[in-house]
């Protein structure tokens, strides 16, 4: 549902070998799923989808569901349409699971309603904070949980183009790595970007660390990175996660008592170029009875609640 950038566009002109950024390509390629149809009101997008994937596309959800029985749905429509799309899907199709783009909605009350309606129907709801499913991010979590990366941990996140839409990706990732948010302090609310989003600078205290989130001021700069300083080294998560590097702490060869970062850098393998395929890998594992790594509806709601509290001073309760 939705054939925009994440629905179809991000990898439309990229080679299939090595690039799986859209829901359409991921569903087409993954062996546990069958791409059956799509929905978008734009005729040109529907034509492009049908020409690329050779399955039908419809202008409305009701038309699609009158022609197909689906057990897995993806909601990639504009955020303000997520709740309505979910309700139509639940009412007509009875799916086993739904993957919804982040954020679940603009209003926390709508996000809670989405969680509740899926729970009533015993439908699994996932939120597409895709980094939780990416192997490099999973390896970082393993190292933190096993104390291979030793606390206390302090860090800095650079993000751009809105705290709800982009910054929330890294709030969610840091919740995954460092545990629940304990408290936060807003240094600046930054630029007002929309009725529901802004670009604040904020200090967030997690269970296992303290991280400053800083917004870039250049509206056209897509800049997303994380730097974590631990007791035994430094982690750099650069270029949105395409590059992950770890440097340990060692004794300075000259002084023999001062510690410094080692000259050698360990590269932690990342596969962000196929992030949407990894999301489906983990959802398929869960649906078959295994333990998948993904962002559940409840975890996505928790992130939305924290982000909304940070933005509330500017906009009022959401």
Alpha-carbon separation of residue 176 from 180, 213, 272, 303 (angstroms): 8, 16, 17, 10
Which residues neighbour 279 within 8 Å (Cβ) at sequence distance 6 or greater? 26, 99, 126, 128, 130, 133, 294
Distance CA 224, CA 259 (A): 29
Query: What residue spans of 121-179 are helical by DSSP H?
Result: 135-145, 168-178
Residue 92's pLDDT is 80
Domain-by-domain residue ranges, the chain?
5-129, 135-270
For the question of whether the overall pTM of this predicted structure is more than 0.75, the answer is yes
Residue 251's pLDDT is 62
Superfamily of chain region 135-270: Dihydrodipicolinate Reductase; domain 2 (3.30.360.10)
Alpha-carbon separation of residue 128 from 136, 181, 283, 285, 296 (angstroms): 17, 20, 11, 16, 9
- Using alpha carbons, select from 246, 250, 248, 266 the residue that is nearest to residue 258: 250
Bridge partners for 90 per DSSP: none
Distance CA 294, CA 95 (A): 19
Into which CATH architecture does domain 5-129 fall? 3-Layer(aba) Sandwich (3.40)
Q: Is the peptide bond before 120 cis (omega within 30 degrees of 0)?
A: no
Residue 222's pLDDT is 72
Residue 218's pLDDT is 63
Residue 223's pLDDT is 78
Per-residue confidence in pLDDT tens, the chain, 318 aa: 999 999 999 999 999 999 999 999 999 999 999 999 999 999 999 999 999 999 999 999 999 999 999 999 999 999 999 999 999 999 887 799 999 999 999 999 999 999 999 999 999 999 999 999 999 999 999 999 999 999 999 999 999 989 999 999 999 999 999 999 999 999 998 888 888 999 999 999 999 999 999 998 766 667 799 999 999 999 999 999 999 999 999 766 555 566 788 889 999 999 999 999 999 999 999 999 999 999 999 999 999 999 999 998 665 554
Cα dihedral 236, 237, 239, 245 sign: positive
Residue 220's pLDDT is 61
């Amino acid at each position: 549902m939705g054939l925009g950038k994440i629905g179809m566009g991000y990898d439309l002109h990229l080679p299939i070998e090595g690039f799986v950024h859209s829901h359409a390509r991921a569903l087409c390629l993954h062996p546990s799923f069958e791409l059956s149809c799509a929905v978008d009101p734009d005729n040109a997008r529907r034509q492009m989808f049908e020409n690329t994937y050779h399955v039908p596309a419809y202008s409305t959800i009701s038309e699609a569901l009158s022609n197909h029985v689906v057990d897995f749905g993806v909601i990639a429509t504009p955020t303000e349409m997520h709740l309505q799309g979910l309700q139509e899907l639940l009412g007509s199709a009875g799916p086993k699971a739904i993957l919804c783009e982040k954020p679940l909605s603009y209003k926390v009350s709508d996000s809670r309603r989405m969680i509740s309606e899926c729970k009533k129907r015993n439908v699994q709801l996932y939120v597409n904070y895709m980094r939780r499913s990416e192997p490099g991010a999973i390896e970082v979590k393993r190292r933190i949980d096993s104390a291979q990366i030793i606390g206390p941990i302090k860090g800095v996140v650079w993000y751009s183009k809105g705290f709800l839409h982009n910054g929330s990706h890294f709030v969610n990732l840091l919740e995954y790595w460092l545990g629940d948010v304990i408290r936060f302090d807003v240094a600046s609310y930054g630029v007002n970007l929309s009725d529901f989003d802004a670009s604040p600078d904020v200090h967030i205290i997690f269970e296992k660390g303290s991280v400053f989130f800083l917004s870039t001021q250049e509206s056209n700069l897509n800049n997303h990175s994380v730097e974590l300083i631990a007791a035994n080294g430094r982690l750099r998560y650069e270029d949105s996660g395409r590059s992950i590097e770890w440097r340990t702490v060692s004794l300075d060869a000259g002084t023999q008592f001062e510690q410094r970062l080692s000259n050698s850098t360990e590269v932690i393998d990342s596969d962000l170029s196929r992030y949407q395929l990894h999301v489906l890998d983990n959802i398929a594992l869960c649906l078959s009875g295994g333990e998948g790594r993904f962002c559940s509806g409840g975890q996505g709601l928790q992130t939305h609640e924290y982000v909304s509290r940070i933005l509330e001073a500017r906009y009022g309760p959401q």
